[in-house]
Structure 1
Amino acid sequence: MLPVRLDRARPEPLPAQLAGAVRELVTGGTLTAGDRLPSSRALAADLGVARAVVEQAYDQLLAEAWVETRRGSGTFVASGGALPPAARTAHAPARAHAQAPPHTSAPPTRTRTRPQPAVREPQLIRLDAGTPWIDPRHLAGWRRAWREVSAVVPPRGYPDPRGLPDLREALAERLARTRGVTVRPDEILVTAGSTDGLRQLLGALGPGDVLVEDPGYRAAAETVRSAGRGVVDHPGLEPVTDLAGCAAAYVTPAHQHPLGRVMPAADRLTLLAAAREADAVVVEDDYDSEFRYDVAPVPALAALDRSRVAYLGTASKSVSPSLRLGWLVAPPEIHERLVRRRTVTHDTPPWPTQRAMFTLLREGWADKVVRTARRVYADRAPRVAAAMAPYAELAGPLAGMYSTWLTEPEPAEAARAAARAAGFDVPLLADYCRSARLTGLVLGFGGVTDTELDRALEAIVHGLTTG
């Protein structure tokens, strides 16, 4: 049997306690790849709990790829293994650097032209991967937060370089409760979003390139280039085994952007080992981890090794992209460098924004918005899948506020054109690729109404069937 003890006096649910204990047994080496776990019935009897407790824990570990099942044999510690063929990425050479086109200019000419009236393009409703659903019923809480900001006297001078103390305290509680990352408030740096946190972090690292998933978050790759560092393209669904020459690796382990897969447990451990070997930092962008609707939110990579992982969080997916607020939990040495620099540069988000976010967390507004959005996404994701599955292949599990669909280039282009004609803008998967050769659609369903989503799906399917 497993050397596990569950404590009913703890606030953490028993299934979560059991899943956490199994993770620790794997990371500590007590359990190794291929080890068979006890059956749910046997382990429940041994621990004196209901069988459903063990089944929920096993389901969570299976979703996180810590374990795998074998028909007729039971549950085993995952050994990694091959990826499904549809998810494999064909890549060009690994290191890809954007080059500007050659600049040519012609002698200027002076001509008189009659001013023409501006032609206003119709505004398209964007079905992207980053716009969340905010229930209109919750807008009163949003307005109350900003009224409270207007009634509070702002600081006399520049604010704390780490961020508003009350906000950092609320964020520390939230990270421990929802992401399993236990931090003190003074270990958190409030940022102007995840890309701002990445930019500041890169400025505090030693020399070296940055590994970035491909396909991946376009803003992250551009931020790396803007910092004067090379981008090392890495297939988004393959394990990172070598970080030689890299100062950092930027990853989205809870929900790979944009393919949607959860980074398997074995790949997490391999990534951390490669980072230790190369003395590199793993940058974890935890952008929409709260929006799982099949199992509990997947634990953060930072919970495995705080000394090696820099954790980026954002309010963009849970509160509003326009708020431009995020947080960074960096390894201790890097954290101190960042605080010293921010003390000089005052590189912190505006105080009113921080104060409003504190109110939204204190009043439970952010939790309410997340719960409501999770229910909406859980309803919409199967509807999108039902419409798309006959014509395209789902790239990853249904989770979050978007899903990615693999198709040939021509149907993808035709679907996008049909959507635009109907008033919607749907991103192409190819737009997220640098060296990768994947084609399809990235279909967001957060920033639309149900009626708009139905209209968009009708147009997209029309494009897929006629393109």
Structure 2
Amino acid sequence: MLPVRLDRADPRPLGTQLADQVRRLVLDGALARGDRMPPTRRLAAELGVSRSVVEQAFDQLLAEGWLEARQGSGTWVAGGAAGRRAVPVRRRTPARERDLVLLDAGTPWVDPRHQAVWRRAWREVSTATPPRGYDDPRGLPELRTLLAERLGRTRGLAVDADRVRLTGGTSAGLRHLLAVLPREPDDAVALEDPGYRAAAATVREAGRAVRDLPALEPVTDLAGCAAAYVTPAHQHPLGRVMPAADRLTLLASARRDGALVVEDDYDSEFRYDVAPVPALASLDREQVAYLGTASKAILPSLRLGWTVVPDRLLDAFDAHRALTHDAPPWPVQRALVTLLRDGYVDAVVRSARRVYAERAPRVVAALAPHAELAGPVAGMYSTWLLPQARAVRVRAAAERAGFRVNLLRDYCRTARLDGLVVGFGGPTDDQLERALDVLVDALSRR
């Protein structure tokens, strides 16, 4: 008798239950290729069902190729492993990993006082009429207009809405740009080192080599590079603002060597020591492609970003997006229209900036006696230089206490820098205080 059990309380038809269980027996190796199935009449009697139930299940499995009918000799197993009967493996459900409080560079503070506007935005989405077919790959016109206005107001980047393109985040924007850049056999993409790990992964997945740019040195040579990816307003993860002279040197090198500069402006609005530094793209909109994101100002899970594309790449960029249907979901774009229009984003940024401005000195005061600050503190994280072995011990202690802290070494490729990247955007005030106590205690132990 087949080891199957049909449940009449199950809402699925009995034939579907039988087919599912036979398919699982084949996949688990309990039924091997070449095994003969019981006759339908006998199996129906053993299971206490009508013969039509078994015939329905067998017909489904025959159509899928799991079983085969042999003229005059019955039904046989066609899928699975030949000549082998494996004892079904008892699968253990992995223990749920303990939730850790993230002290990372990318989890923002979200003020609960602004939830009313957030809910209103999604109510508007629910009553709006979605497009009947694929949406415009460039993004919603109203959203592009609002973003262009915001870029001019907050980033000093005067740009027409027609040059703004909505993407699934900065990595998606970088991926689309790499897809349309002219390609020579040896073209590489230059990236800051240490730098944003997702950018390096995106470049490699695009089939291009990564050339490391020392993060704190001027860029004077981009020969052989199709593009250079940089974070000039707040170098990720060392925190430096690219000096004005270095910006001009980078642009001059890019013009001379024919490389596109890709500016990732991931958290520039969260300066609390000085006014936000103007975007690099404001110096040369044809040499620089600008990447912005909703991840830090609103929520990472929105998976929404925008790219300001140089005119010479616009047509190819749009053609690639239309071909791949790679555009952010319409409901998310529609919600962001409301969040921008009704002032939610401005309010959240102001609130988060105040929180970060209050937390940053607390973090520095706690950790400065024990580690060296790698660069200016801005945004929602700080980076600390430590010997590698000590950094690993501190991270392990934090994890045992329920906190996740990243190693600086994980952001490096050829750079030899060690330490910790300590985020303070995501935790509550109480969680941050406990985390600092844990870190200080671990750092104090030699």
TM-score by length of 2: 0.79
Aligned pairs (5 A) from 1:10-409: 113-207=89-183, 208-409=187-388
SS in 2 for 1:120: coil
- What residue number does 2:432 align with? 453
1:112 shift after superposition: 5.8
Between the aligned partners of 2:121 and 2:348, the Cα distance in structure 1 is 14
Alpha-carbon distance between aligned partners in 1 of 2:151 and 2:88, rounded to the nearest angstrom: 61
Equivalent residue of 1:154, what SS? coil
Q: CA RMSD for the aligned pairs?
A: 1.4
Determine the C-alpha separation between the residues in 2 that align with 1:121 and 1:341: 40
Q: CA separation in 1, counterparts of 2:406 and 2:412?
A: 12
Q: 1: distance between equivalents of 2:93 and 2:284?
A: 59
Question: Larger C-alpha radius of gyration, 1 or 2?
Answer: 2
> In structure 2, what is the Cα distance between the partners aligned to 1:308 and 1:118?
50
- Could you tell me which amino acid in structure 2 is paired with residue 183 of structure 1? V
Deviation (angstroms), 1:116 = 3.3
Q: Does the aligned pair in 2 maintain the 1:243–1:274 contact within 8 Å?
A: yes
Deviation at 1:160, TM superposition (A): 1.8
Cα distance in 1 for partners of 2:181, 2:284 equals 18
Q: Any conservation in 1 of the 2:176–2:321 contact (CA below 8 Å)?
A: no
Distance 1:452 1:376 in 2: 14
CA distance in 2, matches of 1:110, 1:412: 47
One-letter amino acid of the structure 2 residue matched with residue 141 of structure 1:
V
Q: How far apart, CA to CA, are the structure 2 residues paired with 1:229 and 1:345? A: 20
Letter in 2 for 1:271: L
Structure 1 counterpart SS, 2:383: strand
The structural deviation recorded for 1:345 is: 2.6
Question: Once the 2 structures are TM-superposed, how far is the Cα of residue 224 of structure 1 from its aligned partner?
Answer: 0.1
In structure 2, do the counterparts of structure 1 residues 409 and 109 end up closer, same or farther at CA, with 3 Å as the change threshold?
A: farther
Instruction: Quote the residue 2:399 is aligned against.
Output: 420
Cα deviation code 1:12-33 (max 9, x no counterpart): xxxxxxxxxxxxxxxxxxxxxx
Contact kept, 8 Å, 1:414 with 1:466, in 2: the verdict is no
* Cα contact 1:418–1:462 (8 A) shared by 2: no
In structure 2, the residue corresponding to 1:240 is in which secondary structure?
coil
User: What does residue 410 of structure 2 align with?
Assistant: 431
Provide, for residues 125-158 of structure 1, a one-character-per-residue CA deviation record: whole Å limited to 9, x for no partner: 1111001000111112111100100011112222
Structure 1: gaps spanning 5 or more residues: 1-107
Residue 219 (structure 1) shift: 0.1
What is the TM-score when the length of structure 1 is the normalising length?
A: 0.76
Give unmatched runs, 5+ long, in structure 2. 1-83
In the TM superposition, residue 346 of structure 1 has moved relative to its aligned partner by: 2.4
Q: Aligned AA for 1:429? A: L
Q: How many residue pairs align between the two structures?
A: 360
Question: Does the 8 A contact of 1:426 with 1:441 survive in 2?
Answer: yes
Comparing 413-422 with 285-294, greater Cα deviation is found at: 413-422
The alpha-carbon deviation at position 365 of structure 1 amounts to: 0.2
Residues 279, 109 of structure 1: CA spacing in aligned structure 2 closer, same or farther, 3 A cutoff? Answer: farther
Secondary structure of residue in 2 paired with 1:430: helix
Q: Work out the CA distance in 1 between the residues paired with 2:322 and 2:207.
A: 23
Percent identity between matched residues is 67
Q: Distance in 2 between matches of 1:297 and 1:188?
A: 21
Q: Return the letter of the residue paired with 2:156.
A: G
Q: Distance in 2 between matches of 1:263 and 1:118?
A: 46
